[in-house]
Amino acid sequence: MNIKNQFTGLNKVIRTTTILISFCCGLVFSSYAEDQTPDLGIDIDLMNFMEETNDSLTSNISLMNRDGALEDVVLLNELFVMLEEHFAEIGDYPEGARLAKKSTTLTAQLNDAITTDNYNNATKLGIELSNACKSCHEKFK
Ligand code: HEC
């Protein structure tokens, strides 16, 4: 009898502990979800910086300013890699992940075009890149 009571008592402690732990985890998960749901958690500073750099790239390509354009495109490439990682982290948005990856690829192709002084191709790729920004904004912004 005594032993049985002890077991029942122990079970209760375990049960209470389990409930408390689940409750705490629930809180952590729900606050995490709250941070993510209203938007995709995209860093606005990153986006504004992206816009500035993309504008600078467009003008440097039209001026055939090789060094300036290369600097911009290297920076944009890094920013898009970060955006790609962000979409991989949050998951569930394959179209966003695809557009981020596409943009990263375009910056690599832009780097090649500028390095080889192929400004016609760089202009075309620059337009494609701006279209990728627009596609993603139409879908998620
Ligand atoms: C894969 C998706 C994606 C791509 C590609 C993308 N963006 Fe964005 N961008 C977003 C999302 C999502 C927001 C909205 C963020 C928010 O309001 O929380 C945004 C917001 C912005 C903003 C608004 C910031 C503000 O103050 O509200 C600017 C500017 C911007 N992006 C510029 C760009 C430029 C320029 C490019 C391309 C060179 C680009 N973005 C590419 C997803 C993307």
Q: 133 CA to middle of ligand 1, Å?
A: 7
Give the pLDDT confidence score for residue 109 in this predicted structure: 98
Tokens of 15: 């049960």
Give the pLDDT confidence score for residue 116 in this predicted structure: 98
Give the pLDDT confidence score for residue 108 in this predicted structure: 98
Most ligand 1 atoms within 8 A of CB, residue of 110, 133, 138, 140 to mutate: 133
Q: 137 CA to middle of ligand 1, Å?
A: 6
Q: How many residues does the chain have?
A: 141
pLDDT along the chain (141 residues), means of 10: 52 48 40 49 94 98 98 98 95 94 98 98 98 95 83
Give the pLDDT confidence score for residue 25 in this predicted structure: 38
Domain ranges of the chain: 1-38, 44-140
What span, in angstroms and rounded, lies between the C-alpha atoms of 79 and 57? 14
Class of domain 44-140: mainly alpha
Instruction: Write the residue with the smallest CA distance to atom 34 of ligand 1.
Output: 51
Give the pLDDT confidence score for residue 96 in this predicted structure: 95
Give the pLDDT confidence score for residue 10 in this predicted structure: 55
Name 57's Cβ contacts closer than 8 Å, sequence gap at least 6.
69, 72, 73, 76, 110, 126
